[in-house]
């Protein structure tokens, strides 16, 4: 992990603590008013979504460039799977394995960054596979457009490349997250019924006594 990524991660964690600290008390009050007791699962879900959003945005957009920072040599990359050629070139130049190159690491991070979005789409928002993929693509496209426009003109200049490979990797990550969540739910549903017959038997015995 680079120094810039570590700095972005720290800011993301700080933002998470600030936002969650602001949201937590109203959420606790609402739960008591609506249900009369706390629902820990909802608290954890809210914290997870806020943490993911804070860290993902921070890693994507931070650190911001200074006024005197140099601009990009290339602003747009529209060749699909260019990361494969970049990995091979870096491997030859650096004398390392292609899986150890910066291009491969970046692609992997782009995939992993959107896996939680697919998990949330399936487990929290109950969306289907197509909806999760479209959500991943839409969020990724919004990020790329923001980067292309230098954060809609709020940054001194464009400091991140508009990369079609990012769209592919991010969307793939969302799809993988949805698949992983679905497999988890299937396995959980297959395990849960094991204890149910015993509970039914106890209920039946209680009713006959």
For the stretch 75-120, pLDDT in tens is: 999 999 999 999 999 999 998 998 999 999 999 999 999 999 999 9
22 token code pair = 């602001």
pLDDT at 5 over 60: yes
**CB 198: neighbour CB atoms within 10 A?**
9
| Separation in Å, CA 130 to CA 104, 108, 118, 159 | 27, 22, 11, 32
Q: 3-class SS at 77? A: strand
Backbone angles phi, psi at 71, to 5 degrees: -80, 180
Report the pLDDT averaged over residues 173-184: 98
The string over 132-142, giving b where at least 16 C-beta atoms fall within 10 Å of a residue's C-beta and e elsewhere, is: bbebbbebbee
pLDDT digits (tens, 9 = 90+) for 12-38: 999 999 999 999 999 999 999 988 888
Nearest to 168, CA basis, from 102, 111, 87, 109: 111
DSSP helix/strand/coil, 134 = helix
> What ranges do the domains of the chain cover?
1-63, 81-209
Alpha carbon 58 to its chain's center: 12
Among candidate residues 112, 106, 76, 78, the one with its CA nearest the CA of residue 90:
106
Dihedrals φ, ψ of 146, to 5°?
Answer: -60, -45
pLDDT-derived band at 196 (thresholds 50, 70, 90) equals low
The predicted pLDDT at position 206 comes to: 40
């Amino acid at each position: 992990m680079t120094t810039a990524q570590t700095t972005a991660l720290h800011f993301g964690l700080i933002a998470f603590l600030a936002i969650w600290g602001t949201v937590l008390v109203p959420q606790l009050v609402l739960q008591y008013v609506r249900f009369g007791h706390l629902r820990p699962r909802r608290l954890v879900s809210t914290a997870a979504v806020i943490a993911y959003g804070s860290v993902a945005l921070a890693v994507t957009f931070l650190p911001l460039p200074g006024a005197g920072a140099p601009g990009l040599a290339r602003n747009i990359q529209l060749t699909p799977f260019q990361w494969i050629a970049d990995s091979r070139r870096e491997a030859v130049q650096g004398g390392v394995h292609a899986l150890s190159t910066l291009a491969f690491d970046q692609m992997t991070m782009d995939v992993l960054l959107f896996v939680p979005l697919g998990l949330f789409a399936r487990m929290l928002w109950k969306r289907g596979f197509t909806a999760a993929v479209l959500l991943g693509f839409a969020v990724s496209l919004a990020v790329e457009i923001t980067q292309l426009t230098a954060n809609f003109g709020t940054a001194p200049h464009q400091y991140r490349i508009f990369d079609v490979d990012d769209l592919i990797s991010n969307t793939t990550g969302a799809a993988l997250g949805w698949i992983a969540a679905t497999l988890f739910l299937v396995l959980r549903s297959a395990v849960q019924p094991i204890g149910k017959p015993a509970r039914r038997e106890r209920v039946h015995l209680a009713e006959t006594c």
